[in-house]
Amino acid sequence: MTEDVEVRTHETIHITILRARHLKGHRGDAVTSFAKVEFDGKHLGDSAKVETSPDADAEYSFTTTLDCSFADGNHIFDDIASKPILVTITEVLPKEKKQKEEKSSILGQCTIDMLPLLSNSTSNITTSLELQPCPGSPLETVQPDLPKAEVDVMVAVNEALLDHNLLQQSNILTVRIGSLYSPPESWTAVGTQYNYTIGLPVPVSSEKDTSLIFANGAFKLATERELSKRKMKWHSVPNSVAHSQFITTSCTSRIPVDEEKGDFCGKTNKEQRAEAELEKPRVTWDVERRCYLGNEAKSELQMRIAHTRLWPVEIMRTTSAQVKGIGPGTGGKKDKSSSDDDGQVSFHGIAYVDLAPLLYPGVKSVAGAFKLHAFSESELLEKVKRKSAIADSVARVQSSTSRVTGSSPVQKGGKAQAGKEPTVAVPSKKGSGVKQSESSAEIGESVHAAVNTEGTAYKDANSFVYLEFLLATPMVPRREPEDLAELVREYIPPRPQFKRAVGGAQKAIEDYHSQLSSVAVMVLDEFRDAFGPDVFEQDSGQYPEMHQDRKRQLLYQLNSSGKYFAFKEQLKHSIVKIVREKYMKTTTFQNKDDLQQFLSELYVYLVDEMHLALQKVLSVETEETSSVEPFLNSSQLKMFAEEAEVNGDLAAASKYYQERLALDEKNPDHWFDFGSFSLLIGNNTKAKECFKEAVSLQQSYIDGLLMYGIMCTIEESYIEAEAVFERATSLAEANLQSPSLAWMILALFYDIQGNEIRAEHSYSEASKLNKTSQQTTDKNSGAPTEKQDSKHFLVGHDSDLNAATGTGSNVRTQITGSAKSISTVKGTKSTGKKETGRVKSSTDNSVVSNDLDEKPTEMAEDPNLHQKQSIMGNSPTESVFLQAAKWLLDRKALRFAENALSHELLSSLGNPNAEYYIALARLNMMRKDYQDANKNLESSISLNNEHPDAWSMKGHLNYVAGNFVEARDCYERTLAFVTDASETHAIYLRLGSIYLQEEQFSNAKRIFLLACKHSPTCLSWFGVGVACYRLGEIEEAEDALAEANILNNKNAEVWAYLSLVCLKTNRRLEAEQSYKNAIKLGITDEEILNEVHQLQTVVGFGNPSF
Percent of the chain scoring above 70 in pLDDT = 78
Instruction: Determine which of 91-100, 360-369, 604-613, 639-648 has the lowest per-residue pLDDT on average.
Output: 91-100
- 630/1091: higher pLDDT: 1091
Dihedral pair phi/psi, residue 717, rounded to 5°: -95, 75
Average pLDDT, the chain: 78
pLDDT tier, 244 (very low <50, low <70, confident <90, very high otherwise)? confident
- DSSP state, residue 1049: T
pLDDT at 399 over 70: no
Sheet holding 124-130, edge to edge: 58-69, 10-21, 150-157, 124-130
**Statement: residue 1 has pLDDT above 90:** no
Largest CA distance in the chain: 153
Q: Tens digits of per-residue pLDDT, 135-158?
A: 888 888 888 888 888 999 999 988
pLDDT digits (tens, 9 = 90+) for 403-427: 433 333 333 333 333 344 444 444 4
Q: How does pLDDT run across 263-295, given as a tens digit for each residue?
A: 887 777 778 888 888 888 889 998 999 999 988
Q: Give, as one character, the DSSP assignment of residue 356.
A: G
Residue 20's beta-bridge partner residues?
58, 151
Provide the β-strand partners of residue 87: 37, 110
Confidence of residue 1041 (pLDDT cuts 50, 70, 90): very high
Q: Which residue has the higher pLDDT, 391 or 746?
A: 746
Span 101-131, pLDDT tens digits: 778 888 899 999 888 888 776 678 888 998 8
Q: Name the phi and psi angles at 497, rounded to 5.
A: -85, 90
- Please check whether residue 369 is in contact with residue 464, taking contact to mean a CB–CB distance below 8 angstroms: yes
Sequence-distant (6+) residues with CB within 8 A of 1076 are 1104
Identify whether the C-beta of residue 925 lies closer than 8 Å to the C-beta of residue 956.
yes
Per residue in 939-968, pLDDT (tens digit) is 999 998 888 999 999 999 999 888 999 999
pLDDT tens per residue, range 599-637: 888 888 888 888 888 888 776 554 444 444 556 788 889
More confident residue, 593 or 790: 593
CA distance 366 to 298: 16
In this prediction, residue 1031 has a pLDDT band, given cuts at 50, 70 and 90, of very high
Distance from C-alpha of 533 to C-alpha of 513, rounded to nearest angstrom: 30
Burial of 875 (0-12, 13-18, 19+ CB in 10 A): buried
pLDDT at 827: 37
Least confident of 282-296, 322-336, 381-395: 322-336
pLDDT on residue 779: 63
Give pLDDT tens digits for 854-896: 333 333 334 333 333 332 333 446 788 998 999 999 988 888 9
Quick one: pLDDT at residue 321? 52
Average pLDDT rounded to a whole number, residues 902-927: 89
Q: Which residue has the higher pLDDT, 1102 or 48?
A: 48
Q: Give the global pTM.
A: 0.71
Judged by phi (left if over 0) then psi (alpha if -120 to 50, else beta), residue 99 lies in beta
User: What are the two backbone dihedrals, phi and then psi, of residue 112, each rounded to the nearest 5 degrees?
Assistant: -105, 120
For residue 52, what are the contacts with CB-CB under 8 A and spacing of at least 6?
20, 23, 30, 31, 32, 33, 58
Q: What is the model's pLDDT at position 1106?
A: 58
- Confidence check: pLDDT of 794 > 60: no
Q: What is the pLDDT of residues 773-793, one digit of tens each?
A: 777 766 665 554 443 433 332
> How many other C-beta atoms can be found within 10 angstroms of the C-beta atom of residue 177?
25
pLDDT in tens, 669-719: 999 999 999 998 889 999 999 999 999 998 889 999 999 999 999 999 999
Give the whole-angstrom CA distance, residue 516 versus residue 989: 57
SS3 for 563-589 is HHHHHHHHHHHHHHHHHHHCCCCCCCC
Pairing of strands 345-354, 282-293: unpaired
- For residue 993, pLDDT over 90 is answered with yes
CA distances, 499 to each of 496, 502, 580 (Å) = 9, 8, 21
Res 326: pLDDT: 39
Q: Is the pLDDT of residue 814 over 60?
A: no
Give the model's confidence band at 339: pLDDT under 50 very low, under 70 low, under 90 confident, else very high: very low
Name the pLDDT band for 99 (thresholds 50, 70, 90): low
Tell me the pLDDT band of 488, cut-offs 50, 70 and 90: confident
Spatial separation of the C-alpha atoms in residues 820 and 997, rounded to whole Å: 12
The model's confidence at residue 336, banded by pLDDT at 50, 70 and 90, is very low
